Amino acid sequence: MTAPSSPDASRNIAALAPGLSAEVAELRRRLDEAEDTLRAIRNGEVDALVMRDGVGEDVFTIGGDAESYRKFIEAMEPGAAAVDDAGRLLYANTALCNLIGAPLAALQGRALAECFDARAAADIAGLLAGPSNGRRSAEISLTAPPAAPASPPATDGARHFTVAAMPVRLGTVSGQAVTFTDLTERVRAEHAERAEQVAKAIIASANEAVLVCDRTGIITHANLAAAQLADGPLVGRDFDEAVPLGFPFGVGLMGGGDLLALAAAGGSIQGIEVIARAAPKVQDYLVSAAPLQIAPGQISGCVLTMVDLSARKAAEKQQLLLMRELDHRVKNTLALVLSISNRTLSIEDTLEGFQTAFTARIQALAATHTLLAQKSWSNLSLRDVLAAEIAPYADERSGRVKLVDVDVDLAPRAAIALGLIFHELATNAVKYGALSAATGQVTVQIAGRSPERDALRLVWSESGGPVVTGPRRHGFGRTVIARSLGYSPNGAADLAFPAAGVICTIDIPGEDLA
Amino acid sequence: MSADTAPRKLVLYVAGQTPKSLAAIANLQRICAEHLPGRYAVEVVDLKQQPHLAREHSIVAIPTLVRELPVPLKKIIGDLSDTHKVLVNLKVEGE
């Protein structure tokens, strides 16, 4: 059969009846349109058809009514959408429309990714453009708050979602089902848990005792250092009862409960000395209290830190002792200086003589003080004291001075007294005794225990010097020698003047020997 | 009346929010914006709402774009994803 629409047939018809030409052209156009329609249906380019019956027209959706999948999407609790292969939004449920903050009518046909801020858009676009052979997901964060948030933002101010895409067939088109699952609550819980862990770690690692109380005064947290405040566990107990505090300096607070009340009212208290009466060991503490704010303007309790003051108290006691000791020593030294001054003045005939003798004696005193200061006023060795006083005139290397068995430690008061005695003996030896002659020698040696008292006997003996004659008068030097060790009944010094050389027998009090 | 000043009108027939209907709307907006800015008045007819309007242009398949003016009337069936095909069909004589 020849096709009626072939060009040859049309020309033949037109030639036969020109009036039919327009009708044929119209029939041909309608045929082309019908073929075009069939081709479009066959190729899946349309998804609805207009059906006509005796009553009128009706629209029939190819591939099932879209309403079914829309109802399914709408019923989903997470935000959900259907997009075509180009990522255009075909349908979104109310949850997703709320999340985006726009009605469905304004969103349909738009690229889904473009409905979000730039960062989330890139993530969603990448997700939708990925290989469509299975479920894919990505996590996104939305910083711009939606009009009606389903949940408050996480601590970082953002809302977090898992976006999942799954290929689906929607009628005649292939597309993707996309869901937005709100993870904000989970992320917030994770942040809160991490923050809690960090807070616990901070409290636990603090050297000070740290206690957290709720608004009713019940201890909710206590670190390891707080265990020393009371016997037994602290958490769960009333603070005032578990850690009763005394206020030695009467700051007007009646008890620990008042500290808590002040802190819970938003006040902050720093560095108040308290006595933890129930603490088994250390009781002196410095307490500070501050409100516990878990959110701006929301006080849920208070945080107490208690610093162990025992070391500071001990240091204060030591300092007080040292100050008293220093006062005592300064007074003693001043009295000694005054005595030296008076006695020197009474002996010396001239001002120059006074100046020379007084200065030398003060220097002798200073030498011993220097040694004591270097040793922080602890014990000094007898050898060091001797060396310091004799050094201006001679030393062991010259062979003029011989120190035998003098490695004995002395208390400070004995060191000062012996320093003065050795100074007087040395200056006397230089002026009149063994050290005034070229061959003279001084020997200082320990001669064992004193037979008369609890003391160690030390003998200063001179030899090789000029023949000794006893002094014509009792000078200050002899007074110093005789009296310096008189602070103790076990101390004494006796000076003898045999012709061969001066001998000084010194008893160092036993209680001043280390 | 010159080709530039002759009235031009496109009517896009859709069926509610079917995927192809939504795609056709988006594609037509894009094509008009990119290739035919300001040259056509566009009317979108939702046959789901007003099925009787299908009769005017004897619409059978949806979506269908009808170039109503200038004559002759032309129809493009499908979601208009083939931009070249759309532009060829909308080409006005003398342009």
Confidence of residue A475 (pLDDT cuts 50, 70, 90): confident
DSSP A112: G
Distance between A56 CA and the closest CA of chain B, angstroms: 7
Contact list, A82 vs chain B (CB under 8 Å): 19
Rounded to an integer, what distance in angstroms lies between the CA atom of residue A197 and that of residue A190? 10
Which of B13, B14, B22, B74 should be substituted to probe chain A, the one whose Cβ sees the most A Cβ atoms within 10 Å?
Answer: B22
Residue A14 has pLDDT above 70, yes or no: no
> What average pLDDT does this structure show over A248-255?
63
pLDDT in tens, B13-60: 999 888 889 889 989 999 999 888 888 889 999 999 999 999 988 898
Contact list, A35 vs chain B (CB under 8 Å): none
What letter represents residue A186's amino acid? R
With CA atoms as reference, report the closest residue to A112 among A147, A138, A150. A138
Distance between B1 CA and the closest CA of chain A, angstroms: 26
DSSP A381: E
Rounded to an integer, what distance in angstroms lies between the CA atom of residue A37 and that of residue B88? 18
Instruction: Please tell me which residue of chain B has the smallest CA distance to A53.
Output: B52
Pairing of strands A79-84, A89-92: antiparallel
Confidence of residue A155 (pLDDT cuts 50, 70, 90): low
B84 CB contacts (<8 Å, ≥6 apart)? Answer: none
Residue A251 has pLDDT above 60, yes or no: no
Residue A333 CA from chain centroid, whole number: 48
Cα Rg of chain B (Å, integer): 13
β-sheet bridge partners, residue A81? A92, A178
Which of B13, B14, B18 should be substituted to probe chain A, the one whose Cβ sees the most A Cβ atoms within 10 Å?
Answer: B18
pLDDT score for A466:
92
Answer yes or no: are the C-beta atoms of A374 and A418 closer than 8 Å. no
Alpha-helix residue ranges (DSSP H) falling in A91-209: 94-100, 104-107, 118-129, 184-205
Query: Distances in Å between the alpha carbon of A437 and those of A136, A423, A429, A445?
Result: 111, 18, 9, 21
pLDDT in tens, A335-371: 888 988 888 888 788 999 899 989 988 988 888 888 8
Instruction: Please tell me which residue of chain A has the smallest CA distance to B29.
Output: A109
Instruction: Please tell me which residue of chain A has the smallest CA distance to B73.
Output: A29
Which of A27, A59, A74 should be substituted to probe chain B, the one whose Cβ sees the most B Cβ atoms within 10 Å?
Answer: A59
- Lay out the sheet containing B74-77: strands in order across: B41-46, B9-14, B64-69, B74-77
pLDDT score for A453:
93
What letter represents residue A284's amino acid? D
Q: Give DSSP secondary structure letters for A342-362.
A: HHHHHH-SSHHHHHHHHHHHH
Answer yes or no: are the C-beta atoms of A100 and A180 closer than 8 Å. no
Please tell me the number of Cα atoms within 13 Å of B71 on its side-chain side: 0
pLDDT score for B1:
45
A273 CB contacts (<8 Å, ≥6 apart)? Answer: A247, A248, A249, A284, A285, A286, A287, A309
Query: Distances in Å between the alpha carbon of A427 and those of A346, A351, A504?
Result: 19, 19, 14
Q: Give this prediction's pTM.
A: 0.45
A344 CB contacts (<8 Å, ≥6 apart)? Answer: A354, A357, A358, A361, A476
User: If residue A373 lies in a helix (H) or strand (E), which one and from where to where?
Assistant: helix A351-374
Distance between B49 CA and the closest CA of chain A, angstroms: 9
Residue with tokens 């003898």: A496
Minimum-distance CB partner of B60 among A49, A66, A170: A49
Rounded to an integer, what distance in angstroms lies between the CA atom of residue A511 and that of residue B8? 127
- Lay out the sheet containing A245-246: strands in order across: A219-222, A209-214, A298-308, A284-295, A269-276, A245-246
Instruction: Please tell me which residue of chain A has the smallest CA distance to B75.
Output: A33
Chain A residues within 8 angstroms (CB to CB) of chain B: 33, 36-37, 40-41, 43, 45-50, 52, 56-59, 61, 66, 82, 84, 86, 88-91, 108-110, 170-173, 175
Residue A2 has pLDDT above 70, yes or no: no
Backbone angles phi, psi at B77, to 5 degrees: -100, 135
Whether omega for the bond prior to residue B72 falls within 30 degrees of 0, making it cis, is: yes
> What average pLDDT does this structure show over A43-59?
84
Residue with tokens 């033949």: A12
Cβ contact, residue pair B75, A61, below 8 Å: no
Contact list, B61 vs chain A (CB under 8 Å): 37, 40-41, 46, 48-50
Answer yes or no: are the C-beta atoms of A463 and A445 closer than 8 Å. no
Distance between A160 CA and the closest CA of chain B, angstroms: 29
Minimum-distance CB partner of B19 among A33, A110, A173: A173
User: If residue A496 lies in a helix (H) or strand (E), which one and from where to where?
Assistant: strand A492-496
Residue A147 has pLDDT above 50, yes or no: no
Residue A381 has pLDDT above 60, yes or no: yes
Backbone angles phi, psi at B15, to 5 degrees: -120, 80
DSSP A397: G
Contact list, A22 vs chain B (CB under 8 Å): none
Rounded to an integer, what distance in angstroms lies between the CA atom of residue A341 and that of residue A358? 6
Backbone angles phi, psi at A497, to 5 degrees: -125, 60
pLDDT in tens, A386-441: 988 888 887 777 888 999 989 999 998 899 899 989 999 999 999 899 999 888 99
With CA atoms as reference, report the closest residue to A63 among A52, A83, A79, A49. A49
> What average pLDDT does this structure show over A167-184?
82
Backbone angles phi, psi at A320, to 5 degrees: -65, -40
Confidence of residue A1 (pLDDT cuts 50, 70, 90): very low
Cβ contact, residue pair B62, A173, below 8 Å: no
> What average pLDDT does this structure show over A308-331?
87
Answer yes or no: are the C-beta atoms of A122 and A142 closer than 8 Å. no
User: If residue B27 lies in a helix (H) or strand (E), which one and from where to where?
Assistant: helix B19-35
Answer yes or no: are the C-beta atoms of A149 and A157 closer than 8 Å. no
pLDDT score for A445:
95
Look up residue A152 and give its two tokens: 């408050």
Which of B31, B60, B71 should be substituted to probe chain A, the one whose Cβ sees the most A Cβ atoms within 10 Å?
Answer: B60
Chain B residues within 8 angstroms (CB to CB) of chain A: 15-23, 25-26, 29, 47-48, 51-52, 54-55, 58-64, 75, 77-79
Minimum-distance CB partner of B18 among A56, A66, A86: A66
Cβ contact, residue pair B77, A91, below 8 Å: no
pLDDT in tens, A449-462: 999 999 999 999 99
> What average pLDDT does this structure show over A479-484?
86
Percent of chain A clearing pLDDT 70 (strictly above): 91
Residue with tokens 């001066």: A502
Say how many CB pairs under 8 Å bridge A and B: 101
